[in-house]
Chains A and B, each alone.
Chain A
Amino acid sequence: MQQRHEVSHGELFRGFNKIALSGFGGVMSWARQTVVEERGWLSSEEFTSLFGLCQFMPGPNTLNLAVCIGARFQGATGALVSLFGLLCVPFLIIVCFGALYGEFGEIPAVQAMLRGIAAVAAGLMLAMGLRMAADLARRPLLLVFSALILVGVVFLGWPLPALMAGLAPLSMWLAARRYLRGS
């Protein structure tokens, strides 16, 4: 990818700081709006390509995006500044809330409120998983692997590294067979 220099370190920091603070429970949808529509750092196609890369590679998606965009404009220091912009204020906020929880977490009203939020958070995750599963509905056989890893993690409590090492090659093999047949 060509390195360009029209976005400075300061702009990267401010941009990612804004992205981090405008989203609750994940910020990816805000990232596109800020980077493409508001600031015009990337075209829509460039963003889609980079987003594909960030989903393809392991690691938190938004952090990956900060590294890619920062590096694209300002190299390694750009990547660092973007990560810092994304994480420093959320870090301070979450540490404050962590301290409050340590102090007041035992109070029944606090526990009740967090129980309600946790129930909603669980629902948000289940809904996201179901949406992702719907995207894969054309290849239902692959969803067997979703079920296997779900059972392994939730009911058997097996460690993730072992489950991934066992299931990912099989899942990719199945994906490859269908891929080569062109279906």
Chain B
Amino acid sequence: MSVIVEITVRFAMLSLLAFGGASTVLPELHRLAVESHHWMSDATFAHLVAISQATPGPNSIIFTLVGWHVAGLAGALAATLAMCAPSSLLIFIFMRFWDKIRGTRWHGIIQTGIAPLAIGLVLASGCIITRGADGSWGTRALTAATVLTVLNSRLNPLWLIGVGALLGLAGLV
């Protein structure tokens, strides 16, 4: 199967599995790109996530970047389309029923049932990127410091990203 077809099919599937947003399918994106297809190394995946976090735009732009890295412009376009089309079409059809479903028992059950899975997947994203960021004590300490700072302050994450870049450049992590 050509790589463009592979990107399209796999990412379209991820689009429909992304309950709770793009961050919840990051681990599966990692599994596809690093482990099953060997499109890139663990470290490269972490670098691409870092780039996507440090540039403006929605979180889901990481799919575009992975598509570009794997197959150039065609890959970037296929990845972007596959990531947006299925879920967008679904919500476009579904939104007219929302007023009937909102606040009902089914809404509560599905939402409460999905929430713990989304939580586990967001934490898994963090773990996988920690692993790819080479796992030295310096990087681990920086990750831990970031968690503590975010949980205890309302600092704009952009400052933290800047600090991370500087500490990296200074050779401290």
B4 contact set on A, CB distance < 8 A: none
A94, A120, A144, A147: the one contacting B142 at CB < 8 Å is A120
B59, B83, B165: the one contacting A26 at CB < 8 Å is B59
With the chains together, A102 CA to B75 CA distance in Å? 14
With the chains together, A55 CA to B171 CA distance in Å? 39
Assess whether B164 is in contact with A119, with CB atoms less than 8 Å apart.
Answer: yes
- CB within 8 Å of B: which of A129-183? 129-133, 135-136, 139, 142-150, 153-154, 157, 159-161, 164, 167-168, 171-176, 178-180
Distance (whole angstroms) from the CB of A104 to the closest CB of chain B: 11
Interface class of chain A by DSSP: helix
Distance (whole angstroms) from the CB of A151 to the closest CB of chain B: 8
B43 contact set on A, CB distance < 8 A: 111
Distance (whole angstroms) from the CB of B45 to the closest CB of chain A: 9
Assess whether A120 is in contact with B120, with CB atoms less than 8 Å apart.
Answer: no
- CB within 8 Å of B: which of A90-149? 90-91, 93-95, 97-99, 101-102, 105, 109, 111-133, 135-136, 139, 142-149
Against A, the Cβ 8 Å flags (1 = close, 0 = not) of B94-119 are 11101100100101111111111111
Query: Interface size on A (CB < 8 Å)?
Result: 98
Interface class of chain B by DSSP: helix
Assess whether B58 is in contact with A26, with CB atoms less than 8 Å apart.
Answer: yes
Query: Interface size on B (CB < 8 Å)?
Result: 109
Asked if A62 is an interface residue, CB under 8 A from chain B, the answer is yes
Assess whether A24 is in contact with B53, with CB atoms less than 8 Å apart.
Answer: yes
User: Do A160 and B31 form a contact, CB below 8 Å, given A60-B84, A124-B146?
Assistant: yes
A54, A93, A132: the one contacting B57 at CB < 8 Å is A93
Assess whether B169 is in contact with A20, with CB atoms less than 8 Å apart.
Answer: no
Assess whether B50 is in contact with A64, with CB atoms less than 8 Å apart.
Answer: no
Residue of A nearest to B95 (CB): A68
With the chains together, A98 CA to B69 CA distance in Å? 7
With the chains together, A168 CA to B122 CA distance in Å? 16
Residue of A nearest to B131 (CB): A154
Distance (whole angstroms) from the CB of B12 to the closest CB of chain A: 11
Assess whether B123 is in contact with A126, with CB atoms less than 8 Å apart.
Answer: yes
Most buried by A among B25, B51, B140, B173: B51
27 contacts between A and B (CB under 8 A): A25-B158, A63-B83, A63-B87, A64-B88, A67-B88, A79-B92, A90-B61, A91-B80, A99-B68, A112-B173, A113-B165, A114-B50, A116-B166, A118-B50, A119-B142, A119-B146, A120-B142, A120-B157, A122-B133, A123-B146, A124-B160, A146-B119, A149-B117, A149-B124, A153-B120, A153-B121, A168-B113
User: Assuming A125-B23, A125-B122, what are 9 further A-B pairs, CB within 8 angstroms?
Assistant: A26-B59, A59-B87, A114-B168, A118-B129, A122-B126, A127-B146, A128-B122, A133-B123, A150-B124
